[in-house]
Copies of this chain bind each other. A is one copy, B any other.
Amino acid sequence: MVSTSNGNGVNGGQNGVKLNGKRHAGEGLDRPHPQTSFIESTIDPQSFYGKMRKLYSEKVLMTQLKQLKKQGSYDAFDLKWHPSYDLARLHKGHFSPWGFPPTLFWDSDVGKWIEAVCYFLNSPDGANCAHKSVFDASVQELINKIEKAQLPDGYLNIYFMVVDPEGRYQNFRDMHEMYNAGHLLEAALAHHHYSGSRQFLDIMLRNVECWMRDIGPNEGQIHAYPGHPELELAMLRLFDRTKDPRHFDFAKYLITERGKKRDDLGGDSFFVYERKKRNDPHHVMEFALTLYHDLSYNQSHAPLSEQDSIVGHSVRALYLTTAAADLGGEGLTYAKRMWDDAVDNKMYVVGGFGSEPRFEGFHKCPHWLPDSFGLGYLETCAAIAAMMTAERLLSHQLDGKVRDVMELALLNAVLGGGSLNGEQFAYANTLATIGDENATRKDWFTVCCCPPNLSRTLGLLGGYTWSSRIDYDNQVINLDIYLFVSAKKNIALPDGSIAEVQMITEMPWTGKTTLSVNAPADWSWGVRVPTPEYAANIEIDTPTLPDVPGYVSVRLDASATVSITFDLPTRLIANHPLTTQDTLTVSRGPIVYTAESYDNSDLESKYKHFQGLGIKSSSSFQETPLEIEGIPMVGLSTAPGDVWLLEEAYKNQPYRAVSDKRPARTWTRLEGQKLTFVPWFARANRGGAGHVRTSFLRADEA
């Protein structure tokens, strides 16, 4: 029998009814969520990831608390009028899809911040957080506000309780009612897990009862699902806590109902039925036809089983994919299909997603990933959502490629969303600037989904690091390593004793990792060790067994130490050929590099945003020490003179005939010049305009 170490025992103990076994073949939740399993891990505060986490617990969470207070969302559950609602009032009766105020999302912003705080304070090292008393008090104050705000029937939503009470349940497509509820529910689960108090969880259980009463497949219920998926995955996590089959069924309904046409909706799917019923004014309909009424924007254009490519709003798509993966069964089939399309055809080299700024989404065309015009979108939340999906996929089936992408997203597209002084954030991220757009991070955003999403991701990082399952029959502790993080993990054994594993690593800068395990003598270990795609000359000082691609297995006695070493050569990465962009990107290990104006002021000012510059496939790079805001990193630079200019780039010659005698490209060496690169996630942290270029023209001959 294989069971779960669900890491739920530290402060828990007030859980609901246990479910007797899985409900359906292939479905269910015997895979611990990182949002609970993280508490088994202690991340070394002196390590790279430890320092990043310290940045978030010590600085970022406080920055965000101040911003939430300044913005108004912190006090919004007082249900008083806020000046920013004036905008909303103008719209009543004249709904326009872009006419709703950003206050529509305030519940979720507060929710994600509470969730993040609870993860940090619930971590084994959480007591070290300097702001614990402030955070505890703020969280309690917010919960009290939320409790007071809740309607007798369990409904909770700032916008529809203050601004537009008649609008409740009128527009599930756009108005984020269930999205907000999902984030509050995740916050409540984190708070219950952290504090042991049922106050917030009980509020949200009442809210969930409200949803389950009003929404669903049965007669008399509204056959809705969320325009922005989120409640789905929160419900599955709630089910993991309560084992209440109604919670599982509601999640399953929300996921699998999506995009289905129903006879009792006049043959339409829900959002079409709902729109017709609303009878939106024509001008909304016309505009919306090009965006909101394109149901692929919210992935409701077809039932999940009929969707063959990942489309629409990136965060919606990847939240949905996460929930579907967690659901298992046909959901997992869908999730794998969407994931493969996202990764193989629609992913930027930094593990970022979304190349269509117009709707923050996946472009309909595979390989439409322009990387040289400052125009990719790469929303921070989308990269976080990709980590979420990856983790759920790995929980079902280990896969080195999925792991590699999760690590790639974390170390590049996710971490790049925050400044290293803890004060600024990126919503959209850019691989190359063309003007100043998205060159530097901002203090805050009117729609501020990304910053607290970053915090909660760093908060539960231990949950993304590894996953363990206990094989009782054979007395084997199975450990799947996802990330190379200096951390300890305690795994509770059935007899109450604790097995320990410690990973000490110099990653992501040096491929040197030591893994020590320690369990009672009658136990052994089955550890699955990543062999990342970027690693060269991997050496493991213990016999290994083949495993899934990207992994090897080692069998270890109760106590053992394994050394894993590999080289991290600097590599030049070519885009997929169908992008038609023949550029090279510098990377080293899981880190993607960028050239920034700060280090290359002469070259950048002469060749604005490094346009027309190239590097060769044969180039070698020098490693240089680099420290930004106290975080040591590895910098890179080309050899002097190994920077190449395509002079045609500066000619007013839109098109040029080429032949075997007139080559398409002729490169001029820029004597004595070199390009210096820094990790892309660390860009725009040292002042300056933040002009960057990540992909350089390939300067090979011919």
A94-142 residues with Cβ-Cβ distance < 8 A to B are 94-96, 98-99
On chain B, the residues within 8 Å of A152 by CB distance are none
Chain A residues with a Cβ closer than 8 Å to the other chain, count: 74
The stretch from A32-40, A48-56, A312-320, A572-580 touching chain B is A572-580
On chain B, the residues within 8 Å of A343 by CB distance are 654
- A selection of 7 A-B contacts at a CB cut-off of 8 Å is A91-B283, A94-B94, A94-B283, A371-B580, A576-B656, A584-B664, A617-B659
Bound-state CA distance A665–B574 (Å) is 9
Bound-state CA distance A659–B584 (Å) is 10
On chain B, the residues within 8 Å of A575 by CB distance are 655
Contact: B584 with A582, CB < 8 Å? no
In the complex, residue of chain B having the shortest beta-carbon distance to the beta carbon of A371 = B580
Contact: B649 with A577, CB < 8 Å? yes
The answer, yes or no, to whether A344 is at the interface (CB within 8 Å) is yes
On chain B, the residues within 8 Å of A652 by CB distance are 340, 344
The answer, yes or no, to whether A698 is at the interface (CB within 8 Å) is yes
Partner of A94, one of B281, B368, B662: B281
Contact: A612 with B98, CB < 8 Å? no
In the complex, residue of chain B having the shortest beta-carbon distance to the beta carbon of A288 = B98
Bound-state CA distance A95–B94 (Å) is 11
On chain B, the residues within 8 Å of A617 by CB distance are 658-660, 662-664, 702
The answer, yes or no, to whether A657 is at the interface (CB within 8 Å) is yes
Partner of A282, one of B99, B281, B370, B577: B99
Render A330-348 as a binary contact track against B, CB cut-off 8 A, 1 for contact: 0000000000100111010
On chain B, the residues within 8 Å of A659 by CB distance are 571-572, 617-618
The answer, yes or no, to whether A504 is at the interface (CB within 8 Å) is no
Contact: B99 with A658, CB < 8 Å? no
The answer, yes or no, to whether A90 is at the interface (CB within 8 Å) is yes
The answer, yes or no, to whether A472 is at the interface (CB within 8 Å) is no
Q: How far is the CB of A359 from chain B (nearest CB, A)?
A: 10
The answer, yes or no, to whether A287 is at the interface (CB within 8 Å) is yes
The answer, yes or no, to whether A373 is at the interface (CB within 8 Å) is yes
A582-614 residues with Cβ-Cβ distance < 8 A to B are 582-585, 587, 611-612
In the complex, residue of chain B having the shortest beta-carbon distance to the beta carbon of A576 = B654
A350-379 residues with Cβ-Cβ distance < 8 A to B are 358, 365, 368, 370-375
The answer, yes or no, to whether A434 is at the interface (CB within 8 Å) is yes
On chain B, the residues within 8 Å of A375 by CB distance are 365, 368
| Given known contacts A343-B654, A702-B702, A665 and B577 CB-to-CB distance under 8 angstroms | yes
Contact: B663 with A577, CB < 8 Å? no
Bound-state CA distance A655–B367 (Å) is 11
Q: How far is the CB of A621 from chain B (nearest CB, A)?
A: 12
- Known contacts A572-B658, A617-B663, A664-B698; 5 additional CB pairs below 8 A are A90-B282, A343-B654, A344-B653, A372-B578, A534-B657
Bound-state CA distance A164–B546 (Å) is 75
Partner of A654, one of B87, B286, B344, B371: B344
Q: How far is the CB of A601 from chain B (nearest CB, A)?
A: 21
Q: How far is the CB of A281 from chain B (nearest CB, A)?
A: 6
Q: How far is the CB of A346 from chain B (nearest CB, A)?
A: 9
Contact: B702 with A701, CB < 8 Å? yes
On chain B, the residues within 8 Å of A655 by CB distance are 349, 573-576, 585
Q: How far is the CB of A499 from chain B (nearest CB, A)?
A: 37
A274-318 residues with Cβ-Cβ distance < 8 A to B are 281-284, 286-287, 290
Contact: A656 with B98, CB < 8 Å? no
Bound-state CA distance A98–B665 (Å) is 45
Bound-state CA distance A434–B373 (Å) is 22
Partner of A657, one of B370, B571, B580, B646: B571
Contact: B580 with A656, CB < 8 Å? no
In the complex, residue of chain B having the shortest beta-carbon distance to the beta carbon of A611 = B578
Contact: B286 with A96, CB < 8 Å? yes
Q: How far is the CB of A646 from chain B (nearest CB, A)?
A: 5
On chain B, the residues within 8 Å of A374 by CB distance are 365
The answer, yes or no, to whether A581 is at the interface (CB within 8 Å) is yes
Render A79-98 as a binary contact track against B, CB cut-off 8 A, 1 for contact: 00000000100110011101
The answer, yes or no, to whether A648 is at the interface (CB within 8 Å) is yes
Contact: A657 with B344, CB < 8 Å? no
Closest 9 CB pairs of A and B: A96-B283, A99-B283, A618-B660, A582-B582, A571-B657, A344-B652, A702-B702, A700-B702, A577-B649
Contact: B580 with A581, CB < 8 Å? yes
Q: How far is the CB of A602 from chain B (nearest CB, A)?
A: 20
On chain B, the residues within 8 Å of A702 by CB distance are 617, 700-702
The answer, yes or no, to whether A203 is at the interface (CB within 8 Å) is no
Bound-state CA distance A611–B577 (Å) is 9
Bound-state CA distance A344–B612 (Å) is 15
The answer, yes or no, to whether A697 is at the interface (CB within 8 Å) is yes
On chain B, the residues within 8 Å of A365 by CB distance are 373-375, 434
Q: How far is the CB of A222 from chain B (nearest CB, A)?
A: 25
In the complex, residue of chain B having the shortest beta-carbon distance to the beta carbon of A663 = B617
Render A636-661 as a binary contact track against B, CB cut-off 8 A, 1 for contact: 00000000001011001111111110
On chain B, the residues within 8 Å of A700 by CB distance are 663-664, 702
On chain B, the residues within 8 Å of A648 by CB distance are 576-577
A659-690 residues with Cβ-Cβ distance < 8 A to B are 659-660, 662-665
Contact: A282 with B701, CB < 8 Å? no
Render A174-204 as a binary contact track against B, CB cut-off 8 A, 1 for contact: 0000000000000000000000000000000
Contact: A287 with B576, CB < 8 Å? no
Bound-state CA distance A365–B573 (Å) is 25
Q: How far is the CB of A374 from chain B (nearest CB, A)?
A: 7
Bound-state CA distance A271–B656 (Å) is 41
Bound-state CA distance A417–B580 (Å) is 26
On chain B, the residues within 8 Å of A345 by CB distance are 654
Render A368-398 as a binary contact track against B, CB cut-off 8 A, 1 for contact: 1011111100000000000000000000000
On chain B, the residues within 8 Å of A701 by CB distance are 702
Contact: B577 with A612, CB < 8 Å? yes
On chain B, the residues within 8 Å of A87 by CB distance are 282
Bound-state CA distance A618–B583 (Å) is 22
Contact: B98 with A283, CB < 8 Å? yes
Bound-state CA distance A191–B585 (Å) is 61
